[in-house]
Amino acid sequence: MRGTKRVLVSICLVMVLGLSLPFMGACQEQMEYKIGITQIISHAALDSAREGFISAMAEEGFVEGENVRYIRRNAEGDMSTAASIAEYFVSERVDMILSIATPTSQAVVSAVQGTNIPVVFNSVTEPKDAGLVDEWDAPGGQVTGVSDMAAVEPQLELIKKVVPDATRLGVVYNAGEANSVVQVNMLKDAIGDFGMSVTEATAASTADVLSAAQSLEGRVDVIWVPACNTAVAGIDSIIKVGEDYNIPVFAADVATVEKGAIGCYGINYTVVGEESGKIAARILKGEDPADIPVMMIDLDELYLNKKAAANMGVTLPQDILDQATTVIE
């Protein structure tokens, strides 16, 4: 009898395990990752970076509504709001945070101290100087991502080809954004080689962008807009000044050219977002962010806007148009 009971018990255990294993596998497949997404402000470039991230994550098998839930937040240019969003994500115990732009990334990195929440950033110009990583090649800690740093020399070459007589360049930016300061310093270092000087016009908020741009009238021959969140969010105001006073406006990113700047050798922010999504997927699959180098995007796209050029009194040379990746009519 005892032997029979042992056999029956063994059979029951096998049946229970056989039934439960598929169920356990299904539970694993249905595991949902909770990911916080925060960006400093809404404008075309950062919105493209966000959507590029989500698209690449889906291609890597992390699909919203199936095994990922995104919590989207926007600081709308306010740093105290950015800090509150970061702290909220930590309190929610999210599995990962995507931080878009330098100010939000700084807020997130501060908030996750003492936790094991990985952070992937994008649209950050100089992550080491911003205190996000130890080194570009070896980030250390729990943070890595994709930079939007773009060399200024190709931008200046384009400006001189389109407006060869230009000697005075104006730049509109927020001096409170670390990423913008880095770009303007790069501009100052390079511009002498192109026979030009720099005139700065700073804007502390998007509400100040119009007056900053207007202050350049009569003082500059061209305006260049760096990848500054404040300036790009207020790009309509800068373009209006360019059109009103026939001052050609150039940019550092393709989304701003699509909005009405004349052109750029620039960053495609959809690609920036996609590459950060691929990095996030690697981390969710088990890689350590400390060992994933910060990525830079190649400047291989020349965007030109013929209508914008005409609106600002400029004719784009045919040889430059022939070199363009994209021409907006």
pLDDT over 80 (residue 147): yes
pLDDT of residue 267: 83
Q: What is the mean pLDDT of the segment spanning 68-74?
A: 98
pLDDT of residue 28: 38
Is residue 127 very low, low, confident or very high in pLDDT (cuts 50, 70, 90)? very high
Give the domains, in start order, of the chain with CATH numbers: 32-148+268-296 (3.40.50.2300), 153-266+301-328 (3.40.50.2300)
Please give the backbone phi and psi of residue 240, each rounded to the nearest 5 degrees, phi first: -60, -45
Are the C-beta atoms of 35 and 71 separated by less than 8 Å? yes
pLDDT in tens, 163-174: 999 999 999 999
- Helices marked H in the chain: 2-29, 44-59, 79-91, 102-111, 153-162, 178-191, 209-214, 229-233, 235-245, 254-259, 269-284, 306-311, 318-323
pTM above 0.85, yes or no: no
Alpha-carbon distance of 107 to 285, in angstroms, equals 26
Alpha-carbon distance of 53 to 279, in angstroms, equals 10
Distances (CA, A) of 217 to 200, 313, 318: 12, 15, 28
pLDDT over 60 (residue 19): no
Q: What is the mean pLDDT of the segment spanning 37-53?
A: 96
Two tokens, residue 291 = 């060992």
pLDDT of residue 266: 80
pLDDT over 50 (residue 1): no
DSSP 8-state symbol, 208: G
Pick from 71-75, 238-242, 255-259, 296-300: least confident: 296-300
Alpha-carbon distance of 204 to 274, in angstroms, equals 30
DSSP 8-state symbol, 146: E
* Cβ neighbours of residue 97 closer than 8 Å, sequence gap 6 or more: 35, 36, 37, 38, 86, 89, 108, 112, 117, 118, 119, 120
Two tokens, residue 266 = 């620039």
Is residue 16 very low, low, confident or very high in pLDDT (cuts 50, 70, 90)? very low
Percent of the chain at pLDDT > 90 equals 87
Closest by alpha carbon to 148, among 277, 275, 267? 267
Specify the length of the chain in residues: 329
Alpha-carbon distance of 142 to 89, in angstroms, equals 15
| 49 or 27, greater pLDDT | 49
